[in-house]
Amino acid sequence: MEFPKELKYTKEHEWVKVEGGVATVGITDYAQDSLGDVVYVELPQEGGAVTKNEAFGVVESVKAVSDLYSPVSGNVVEVNDAIIESPEAINDDPYGDAWMIRVEVSSSGELDDLLTADEYQKFIQEEK
Amino acid sequence: MKELEQAKTPLYREHIALKAKMVDFAGYLMPVEYTGLIEEHLRVRSACGIFDVSHMGEIEVTGRGALAAVNLVATNDASRIKDNQCQYTLVCNADGGVVDDVIVYRFNAERFLFCVNVSNTDKAFEWISRQANADAVVRNVSPDYAQIALQGPKSVEVLKAIADIDPGAIKRYHFTVGEVANISAIISRTGYTGEDGFEIYLSPLGAPAVWKAALEAGTGFGILPVGLGARDTLRLEMGYPLYGHELTDITTPLEAGLERFVALNKNEFIGKDALKRGFAAGPEKRLIGFNMLKPGIPRQGYDIMVNDKKAGSVTSGTYSPMLRAGIGMGYAASGLIKDIEENGSGLKIMIRGRPSEARMVKPPFYKKEALTC
């Protein structure tokens, strides 16, 4: 299982990558593996707002449904519509093709409490 | 506090070696998936899957009074099956509620075996024992049996390669006793997937050898080990009920649409009076099947709405790998079902608080050509 060092993580199993004030958000390798075959994803509209630690969408595998929690607050500037058509990409490439939304981060201070790759890995070891 | 020990089947080591994802199921540590639920599901429909179903319970009824004892607790008529034949039946309480749904195996008039749901093994054993006559002996023989299922169109060929009997000669819902990988076994042409296939009852000690032999023999036929995840989606595509979901102590076979397994014309059986009355009055609620018309997956507990009124709840729901859409079953008030039948629409499922359009369909959800056996 992979946890790229350049990403930040949440305890709800999302990853986030911030570049030039825009955060790209997806779910982790651990999350997709726990869910199993993903068959449905629901994402917000472009232009909508998301709030840190609040649900912004839903991901469903054959056997489970799970809310997606936003690691940051801000406006959604881009939505990955391709994964709505092909949700299996979330299993195949959770950190690449299957990014979910891009958010214009409203407060950079919100990034401080996100986990590093090492901290996240430790967290899921404890959760198991 | 000491944690409760989870039971393991005799095939536990095989599952670990195959890197299965393990979950707790009714106190057993069971494989939920190996290579992936959808792949496993599709492989059963196209080729062959092997399942560990050793958690299922087995209850034996023997003696001169065995047939009478079976017929007293079963809603179906066990006198209509011959030796080496099996029969699906409900076991009901006096109110007509379902104690368990089981398969009865008839070896002869003095020996029967019930295959019961794992979560009901103790309850069913207690119930059947309590009703038994003085000439019948009821034993919970679950520890004596492991169970392996081979399911899918290639199952006959896989089993033929490792058995000393001709599996093709076993008719649907019949069984024989033979050897599989040199282990003596009860082999029935039954299953819970809607595909041709077999359920093999054998000693726990012999189970790993049979499991490995079947996987090896099945390699050329595309066999895959299949977990409980796909077992559930396979049964749901066929509209088969699952105890604890569609069937409970307070639902009747009539409500569940299983009246063809209730022999109201046979002699006394437990629940007969209540079921007769229920049949005459018509059930107040009925089990329905439905397809989702838009993306979205129904789940157990979601509300079923008819013309924007709550009509009942979903008992089982999933994503169908064959139909690539949400399917489900649930109970709805009979009067409201009539409304849908007359209007042809009006059915919605509340998916996370939002109504989503569905169409009532009579299961099976997935239809294939008729089985040739």
Residue B5 pLDDT: 72
Distances (CA, A) of A31 to A65, A87, B83, B295: 12, 14, 51, 22
Residue B371 pLDDT: 46
Instruction: Identify the CA nearest to B336 among candidates B277, B291, B283, B264.
Output: B283
Please give the model's pTM, rounded to 2 decimal places: 0.95
Return d(Cα A37, Cα A10) in angstroms, integer: 22
Please answer yes or no on whether A62 and B37 come within 8 Å at the CB atom: yes
Report whether B279 contacts B296 (CB < 8 A): no
Nearest CA in chain A to B33: A36
* Residue A127: band (very low, low, confident or very high) from pLDDT cuts 50, 70, 90: confident
Distances (CA, A) of B84 to B72, B78, B81, B268: 20, 12, 8, 25
Report whether A78 contacts A46 (CB < 8 A): yes
Compare CB distances from B37 to A40, A58, A63 and report the shortest one's residue.
A63
How high is the mean pLDDT of chain B?
Answer: 95
Q: Is residue B271 helix, strand or coil?
A: coil
How many beta-carbon pairs under 8 angstroms link A with B?
35
The stretches of chain B forming alpha helices (DSSP H) are 12-17, 37-46, 66-73, 121-131, 155-162, 207-218, 228-237, 272-281, 334-343
B3: pLDDT strictly greater than 70 = no
Please answer yes or no on whether A36 and B36 come within 8 Å at the CB atom: yes
- The reply to whether A65 touches chain B by the CB within 8 Å rule is yes
Please answer yes or no on whether A36 and B21 come within 8 Å at the CB atom: yes
CB-facing half-sphere around the CA of B310: CA atoms within 13 A: 9
- The reply to whether A60 touches chain B by the CB within 8 Å rule is yes
Residue B314 pLDDT: 98
* Surface of B (325-354) touching A: CB under 8 A: 352
Interface test with A, best of B319, B322, B350, B356 (most A CBs within 10 A): B319
B224 CB-near residues (< 8 Å, 6+ apart): B34, B35, B39, B40, B43, B47, B48, B49, B50
Give mean pLDDT, residues B169-191: 98
Report whether B105 contacts B115 (CB < 8 A): yes
Residue B1 pLDDT: 42
Please answer yes or no on whether A36 and B229 come within 8 Å at the CB atom: yes
How high is the mean pLDDT of chain A?
Answer: 95
Please answer yes or no on whether B37 and A36 come within 8 Å at the CB atom: yes
Q: Which residue has the tokens 């439905």?
A: B290
For residue range B17-61, list pLDDT tens digits in order.
999 999 999 999 999 999 999 999 999 999 999 999 999 999 999
Residue B373 pLDDT: 41
Considering Cα of B208, then B209, then B212, then B213, what sign does the dihedral take? negative
Give mean pLDDT, residues A19-37: 96
Q: What is the DSSP string of chain A?
A: ----TT-EE-TTSEEEEEETTEEEEEE-HHHHHHH-SEEEEE-PPTT-EE-TTSEEEEEEESS-EEEEE-SS-EEEEEE-THHHH-TTHHHH-TTTTT--EEEEES-GGGGTTSBPHHHHHHHHHHH-
Residue B4 pLDDT: 60
**What single letter denotes the amino acid at residue B314?**
V
For residue range B116-172, list pLDDT tens digits in order.
999 999 999 999 999 999 999 999 999 999 999 999 999 999 999 999 999 999 999
Report whether B30 contacts B22 (CB < 8 A): yes
Report whether B238 contacts B327 (CB < 8 A): no
Report whether B358 contacts B294 (CB < 8 A): no
B2: pLDDT strictly greater than 90 = no
In sequence order, the β-bridge partners of residue B178 are: B185
Please answer yes or no on whether A40 and B296 come within 8 Å at the CB atom: yes
- The reply to whether B209 touches chain A by the CB within 8 Å rule is no
Residue A37 pLDDT: 97
Interface test with B, best of A34, A39, A85 (most B CBs within 10 A): A39
Give mean pLDDT, residues B352-361: 94
Residue B341 pLDDT: 83
For residue range B319-351, list pLDDT tens digits in order.
999 999 999 999 999 988 888 888 777 899 999
For residue range B189-239, list pLDDT tens digits in order.
999 999 999 999 999 999 999 999 999 999 999 999 999 999 999 999 999
Complex ipTM, two decimals? 0.91
Residue B369 pLDDT: 62
CB-facing half-sphere around the CA of B323: CA atoms within 13 A: 26
Nearest CA in chain B to A88: B38
Return d(Cα B319, Cα B292) in angstroms, integer: 10
Return the axis-axis angle of helices B121-131 and B66-73, rounded to nearest 10°. Answer: 120
How close B192 comes to chain A (CA, Å)? 18
Which residues of chain A lie closer than 8 angstroms to B295, CB-CB? 40
Q: Is residue B169 helix, strand or coil?
A: helix
* Residue B372: band (very low, low, confident or very high) from pLDDT cuts 50, 70, 90: very low
CA end-to-end span of chain A, whole Å? 14
CA end-to-end span of chain B, whole Å? 54
